[in-house]
Amino acid sequence: MFRDLIGVPNFDPAEARNKAEDPLFVRAAARAISVLTVFETARKPLTLEEIAALSALDRSAAQRMVHTLVSLGMIVRDREDRGYLPGKRVLTMAHSALRLDPVCQRATPVLLELRRRTRERVDMSFWDDTRLIYALRMPSKHEIFTATLTGNTVPVYCTAGGVAILAHLKDEEIAEIFARSDLTPFTAATVTTLAEVMEAVNAARSRGHAVMVGQLLRHEIALGAAVLDAARRPIGAVHVAGTLEEWTAEAFSSEFGGLLETAVKSIPG
């Protein structure tokens, strides 16, 4: 049983209950976020009943929250009236996050040059616990729809960017992240054991960048290198992706690995 590339959810409605003793915590805001995040792995417009179930709200609370968010343009009815979707105003929030982020500002010209020199897909993602969130995407000549979308999420443990990030962590932290990850594979080649992850991590530590083949898409080769902050802690990764129809993993790494490593050193976090 394989899963598809619709995203990796990471918001637990129970987090709000764990903040009950925090006098500054606004539970109504948490409920709004819980409603907005239910769309992360949706495959279709969601009904009010589905939103209530996925956000762990009772129907009455969900109805009030959906009504409020619809009134503010953050949620809309879909054009065929089958349910609710995120509204267009959500896109402007993503734009603000990217426009104001200093790492994105510094990374953009570096990624453009890397894309020019490799002529392959180049992305930058931010690390978010057990997942990566794609922030900057520069597609190549052959892409699937999800590989072009900013905001898409993928696991840390089985992706080149994720493994590059894990390579900068202690083994105990890697094991803890792996233990909390959804290990449902994307392809027959997706790594599913800690031993396989550690083999990839140790190879990345030795090589200077991660190389992963067929993990999310069976024909894809991906390289990853971590973007580090001033304390040498990973905050994200840059990825270069190609296809097995044109490259072997060894040739792809040899051709572009050095360029990738140089690029991430030019993006101080």
User: Residue 269: its pLDDT value, please?
Assistant: 63
If DSSP states are collapsed to H, E and C, what string results for 67-108?
HHHHHCCCEEECCCCCCEEECCHHHHHHHHHHHHCHHHHHHH
What is the tens place of the pLDDT at every residue in 141-177?
Answer: 766 777 788 999 999 999 999 999 999 999 999 999 9
- Strand pairing category for 75-77 and 153-155: unpaired
pLDDT of residue 15: 75
Rounded-to-integer distance, Cα 156 and Cα 238, Å: 13
From-to residues of CATH 1.10.10.10 in the chain: 14-87
* C-alpha–C-alpha distance, residues 14 and 32, integer Å: 13
What is the pLDDT at residue 39? Answer: 94
Please choose, from the candidates 122, 139, 109, 134, the residue with its C-alpha nearest in 3D space to the C-alpha of residue 8: 134
Q: Say what the pTM is.
A: 0.91
Q: What is the DSSP letter of 83?
A: S
Residue ranges of the chain whose pLDDT lies below 70: 142-143, 269
Residue 250: closest CA among 221, 208, 219, 228: 221
**Geometric angle at alpha carbon 263, from 223 and 165, rounded to 5°:** 50
User: Which residue intervals of the chain bear CATH 3.30.450.40?
Assistant: 101-266
Q: Is 153 helix (H, G, I), strand (E, B) or coil?
A: strand
* Residues, the chain: 269
Q: Name the architecture of domain 14-87.
A: Orthogonal Bundle (1.10)
Spatial contact of 133 and 40, defined as CB atoms under 8 Å apart: no
pLDDT at 124: 98
Q: How many CB atoms lie within 10 A of CB 84?
A: 22
CATH code assigned to 101-266: 3.30.450.40
The helix (run of H) or strand (run of E) holding residue 132 is: strand 131-138
| Residue 42: closest CA among 85, 106, 97 | 85
| Residue in the block written with tokens 């959906």 | 66
pLDDT at 140: 79
Q: Give the residue carrying structure tokens 């800690």.
A: 194
How far apart CA 50 and CA 53 sit, in angstroms, is 5
Digit-coded pLDDT (tens) for 128-138: 999 999 999 99
